[in-house]
Amino acid sequence: MVGMRGAYGGACNDDSKSRLHGGKAAEPEIASMAVHKVAPPPARSTASKMKVRVKETFFPDDPFRAFKGQPPGTQWLMAVRYLFPILDWVPSYSLSLFKSDLVAGLTIASLAIPQGISYAKLASLPPIIGLYSSFVPPMVYAVLGSSRDLAVGPVSISSLIMGSMLRQAVSPTAEPTLFLQLAFTSTLFAGLVQASLGILRLGFVIDFLSKATLVGFMAGAAIIVALQQLKALLGIVHFTTEMGIVPVMASVFHHTSEWSWQTILMGVCFLVFLLSARHVSIRWPKLFWVSACAPLASVTISTLLVFLFKAQNHGISIIGQLKCGLNRPSWDKLLFDTAYLGLTMKTGLVTGIISLTEGIAVGRTFASLKDYQIDGNKEMMAIGLMNVVGSCTSCYVTTGAFSRSAVNHNAGCKTAMSNVIMALTVMVTLLFLMPLFVYTPNVVLGAIIIAAVIGLIDFPAVYHIWKMDKMDFLVCVCAFAGVIFISVQEGLAIAVGISIFRVLMQITRPKMMVQGNIKGTDIYRDLHHYKEAQRVSGFLILAIEAPINFANSNYLNERIKRWIEEESFEQDKHTELHFIILDLSAVPAIDTSGIAFLIDIKKSIEKRGLELVLVNPTGEVMEKIQRANEAENYFRPDCLYLTTGEAIASLSALAKMTKP
């Protein structure tokens, strides 16, 4: 299939010429004008096309390209190293690398221990579960993960979501054993979802959580997390289990009689200390260790104060006795009762997607800072498998935490060995130091959580979204409002729904434009964008910038017909509209409905005495046009051109030669 004259040596057919120009034939020399061919795509079988499409969909990074041409033994070795990234760096590991990882591991352990206890309470789980979750999962990730900087452990958002979703069905105080079983089962499902996305190469699913969605969601969740800590900061005993800002604030002011001035004083003092330490680390990055060590220092100091002054007898609530020992097996606690199966699967899906998104985003952020690559699908498998293992070893959902990873990065970590050192430090704590946390006040754990989640409110990102795209800003605001006024999961669902609706609108209402010529050039651009672009007499040049399919073909049909009617009035009185040029350069794909649309619009245009010309159809579009022509010659060679400039030059010359 080729362009006019340059393809088949012919001009527009006689019927077309007589309809447009009064029946006079073109002069012979017009047929000699040079017009480039519109080449059809190379012939390929359906199987080969499907192979390419599947590869580009599920293997865009072509992870097995390095295997080509290698002997079988080398391929097996490469496969093992691919599955276990630890084998990439362990053979060349040195003492100097270990020294850097040792400092980083001990530093993040000082942050992981108080955060683990705090986040477990946020999820309404026993504090010891938070420490368990900072021991086994980091060890698993060190073997399977590809990031050097990611520090693994429980995070605030996933803890909040898990606690809030499970509390809807089971009370953690009335039925603690059942609640714990549901938490472990939800963690198993979260891990299965995460690992499945990696194994099946379905990582694009998490792309539905856009940056605008995540910014608004994180900000709203941070506020909800902080408000939930008012129970600990004020010393309230009877507090609402709902998550919205209205019921939380109502509960705060309905229980003013339970406020404890001793608790408030301690909470405010340590919160100011933690925020000041955070400010120092932000202001002077070399002092990152100040913010990293502040939580452990707060726990240590507050525990000593409570112990020395017997503050537990004066309104300060404490953690209480914690058992020493390593993770206990919990596979026997996994609960698949049909009464709770739907709840645990839904909780696992939501927490799994959220934690996976956070972990991959954090890993990619720090990988870009150190100029190395991480494999997103391998990260999904690593995070998923560590949660599957965690569910069987008394852990709940874990991922790469931003705060810990930032400390790990700033502390100079070199490999994933820092996770191992952190885990071993937590192990020592679990074995020997648990009695030291008996007098740790809950109010300080609440202050640690508030100080940690404040960093999730990214005002510069919100302002940037506002300046860049108002629709994205609307998505961001909806995510934020949905979280704080309804609930965490509903807020996330609303934001994702709006994002998907926006994508659907872009698909069903694709961008089209009227183009004009920039004087003195062979360039054609949008008339509304380029003021120097001018209309070409006798031509309506339209460009479509989207795939043409069943979802938008009717809209395109109606829009083109309306443009033709408008153009008929706007054209100069002395110039008649003769040709409609449809630029398909930016149309990557077309389906059966799209081809039917082109045929229909061609017939409609010809009934008006006009001629439709297609410019630069891409490979897939050209292939579909060829197939349509096999049934009936809808699109003749003289209706196809390589560029808009060639089409106008050729058709203008033809029009001049055929004038009476």
Q: Is 85 helix (H, G, I), strand (E, B) or coil?
A: coil
Q: d(Cα 343, Cα 545) in Å, to the nearest integer?
A: 43
Among residues 260, 257, 297, the alpha carbon closest in space to that of 277 is found at 297
CB 205 within 8 Å of CB 394: no
Q: What is the dihedral of CA 340, 344, 346, 351, to 10 degrees?
A: 160
255 and 158 belong to one structural domain: yes
pLDDT in tens, 106-121: 989 988 899 899 899 8
Choosing from 460, 475, 502, the residue where a domain stops is 502
Same domain, 153 and 221: yes
At residue 428, the pLDDT reads 94
How far, in Å, CA of 395 to CA of 378, rounded?
21
Q: Is residue 28 part of a domain?
A: no
Note the pLDDT of residue 570.
60
Which of 449, 471, 502 corresponds to the end of one domain?
Answer: 502
**How high is the pLDDT of residue 28?**
35
Distances (CA, A) of 169 to 163, 331, 549: 11, 22, 45
- Whole-angstrom Cα distance, residue 643 to residue 146? 47
Distance between CA 241 and CA 245 in Å, rounded?
12
What percentage of the chain has pLDDT greater than the value 90? 33
Whether residue 201 sits in one domain with residue 119:
yes
Cβ contact 235:442 at 8 Å? no
- Determine, yes or no, domain membership for 77: no
pLDDT in tens, 350-385: 999 989 988 888 888 888 778 888 888 888 999 999
User: What mean pLDDT do residues 569-594 have?
Assistant: 81
Q: Do the Cβ atoms of 536 and 247 come closer than 8 Å?
A: no
| 457 and 517 belong to one structural domain | no
Mean pLDDT of 147-162: 91
In this structure, is residue 62 part of a structural domain?
no
Are the beta carbons of 621 and 578 closer than 8 angstroms?
Answer: no
CA 256/CA 234 separation, integer angstroms: 9
Whether 13 maps to a domain, the answer reads no
Residue 658 has a pLDDT of 62
- The pLDDT value recorded for residue 126 is 92
Q: Are residues 248 and 293 in the same domain?
A: yes
**Final residue in a domain of this structure, among 454, 474, 502:** 502
Report the pLDDT value the prediction gives residue 462, as an integer from 0 to 100.
92
Do 569 and 628 reside in the same domain of the chain?
yes
**Residue 142: left if φ>0, alpha if ψ -120 to 50, beta else—which one?**
alpha
CATH code of the domain covering residue 645: 3.30.750.24
Beta partners for residue 152, in sequence order? 400
Q: Are residues 493 and 602 in the same domain?
A: no
| 3-state SS string for 333-373 | HCCCCHHHHHHHHHHHHHHHHHHHHHHHHHHHHHHHHCCCC
Residues 450, 420 share a domain: yes
- The confidence band for 660, taking pLDDT boundaries of 50, 70 and 90, is low
Q: 512 forms bridges with which residues in the sheet?
A: 544
Number of domains in the chain: 2
pLDDT value of position 5: 38
Report which of residues 581 and 231 the model is more confident about.
Answer: 581
Do 268 and 389 belong to one domain? yes
Structure tokens at 587: 């149309």
Domain identity same for 543 and 484: no
Q: How far apart are CA 44 and CA 49, in angstroms?
A: 7
170 occurs within a structural domain: yes
Asked if pLDDT for residue 649 goes beyond 50, the answer is yes
Is the same domain home to 398 and 487?
yes
In a domain, 319, yes or no: yes
Q: Span 28-34, mean pLDDT?
A: 42
Please check the confidence at residue 300 and state whether its pLDDT lies above 60.
yes
Backbone phi, psi, residue 441, to 5°: -75, 140
Residue burial 135-162, b: 16+ Cβ < 10 Å; e: rest: bbbbbbbbbbbbbbbbbbbbbbbbbbbb
pTM (two decimals): 0.78
Using CB atoms within 10 A of its CB, is residue 626 exposed (0-12), middle (13-18) or buried (19+)? middle
**What pLDDT shows up at residue 258?**
82
CA dist 243 and 220 (Å) reads 11
Q: Is the per-residue pLDDT at 224 higher than 90?
A: no
Best CA proximity match to 347, nearest among 182, 178, 152: 182
Q: Which residue has better confidence, 385 or 495?
A: 385
pLDDT bracket for residue 568 (50, 70, 90): low
Burial, 297: exposed, middle or buried (Cβ in 10 Å; 0-12, 13-18, 19+)? Answer: middle
* pLDDT at 32 (0 to 100): 40
Between 334 and 364, whose confidence is greater?
Answer: 334
List, in sequence order, every residue forming a beta bridge with 517; answer none if it has no partner. Answer: 524, 534
Shared domain for 522 and 449, answered yes or no, is: no
Q: Are strands 539-544 and 579-583 parallel, antiparallel or unpaired?
A: parallel
Average pLDDT over residues 4-21: 40
DSSP 86-146: HHHHSTT--HHHHHHHHHHHHHHHHHHHHHHHHHHHHTTS-HHHHHHTTTHHHHHHHHH--
| Spatial distance between the Cα atoms of 653 and 33, rounded to a whole number of angstroms | 9
Going by C-alpha positions, the residue among 627, 550, 619, 546 that lies closest to residue 49 is 619
pLDDT digits (tens, 9 = 90+) for 398-428: 999 888 888 888 888 899 999 999 999 999 9
- Average pLDDT score over the chain: 84
Q: Please indicate, yes or no, if residue 15 is contained in any of the structural domains.
A: no
DSSP 379-412: HHHHHHHHHHHHHTTT----EE-HHHHHHHHHTT
3-state helix, strand, coil in the chain (%, to 5): 65, 5, 30
DSSP state of 590: B
Q: Which residues are registered as beta bridge partners of 582?
A: 542, 614
Q: Give the residue carrying structure tokens 């930032």.
A: 406
Containing domain of residue 143, as a range? 87-502
User: What are phi and psi for residue 426, nearest 5 degrees?
Assistant: -65, -35
- Tell me, yes or no, whether 20 lies in a domain: no
For 413-469, where are the alpha helices, taking DSSP H only?
417-428, 442-453, 459-468
